[in-house]
Amino acid sequence: MSEKRKEQKRQAVIRYREKNRDKMNQRARERYKLKNLTEKSQEEKEKKRLYDIEYRKREDVIRKEKERKENKEYKQREKELRPIRRQKNLKNIKYNEWRKLNIKWDLQYQDPYKMYLENKVCSLCKCEYKTNSDKQLDHDHLSGHIRGFVCRGCNSKMAKYDNQRIRLCLEIHRYFNNK
């Protein structure tokens, strides 16, 4: 970086600090207050930790914990529920991932997660997926509607064409609006 550029940066920093001095001082005061609060909360945490240790030493608590762990029905029920919870969690993860991409679906007509589980081959090149991470949800980038599931390679090709289509639409819009 040239000396001139470094000097410009220094001057910009100085101007920023002069302009925002009050805000910076306010933030420093708030940080100081938070620091004092955290010291108090650490004392409270230590008290709670000591209480918890004493609580766990009580005989009735120890007995109840032991009974619960030894209960065969409890263990069996947990064993049965574990895969269901894991599957439900995976479903929520996928839905959240698709929502972030602004993908739209109507659960009355199509359930994307059900489609995700049922789909075994790419819709375009008909190759089998090696892993679930190879499955990609193909959607229209303009409307956000689902078209199907494709492999990573096909998805990147489709995205390229979608982006070109979007650029073309924008150029046409600019052309007609700038006349």
Residue 134 and residue 160 share a domain: yes
Residue 92 and residue 111 share a domain: no
Beta strand 136-139 with 146-150: parallel, antiparallel or unpaired? antiparallel
The residue from 100, 132, 166 where one domain ends is: 100
Residue 81 and residue 142 share a domain: no
> What is the spatial distance between Cα 95 and Cα 90, in angstroms, rounded to a whole number?
9
What does the pLDDT average to over 130-158? 78
Question: CB neighbours (10 Å) of residue 26?
Answer: 11
Q: How is 41-84 classified by DSSP, letter by letter?
A: HHHHHHHHHHHHHHHHHSHHHHHHHHHHHH-HHHHHHHHHHHHH
> What is the spatial distance between Cα 111 and Cα 105, in angstroms, rounded to a whole number?
7
pLDDT score of 1 more than 80: no
Contact between residue 139 and residue 99 where contact means Cβ atoms under 8 Å apart: no
Inter-CA distances, 84 with 80, 89, 98, 151, Å: 8, 8, 21, 27
pLDDT at 133: 73
Summary mean pLDDT of the chain: 78
Query: Where residue 128 falls among pLDDT bands split at 50, 70, 90?
Result: confident
pLDDT score of 82 more than 70: yes
pLDDT tens-digit readout, 87-102:
777 777 777 777 777 7
pLDDT at 107: 64
Residue 93 and residue 130 share a domain: no
- How many distinct structural domains can be found in the chain? 2
Residue 129 and residue 67 share a domain: no
Q: Quick check: is 150 in a domain? A: yes
pLDDT score of 73 more than 80: no
pLDDT score of 19 more than 80: yes
Question: What range does the domain containing 168 cover?
Answer: 104-177
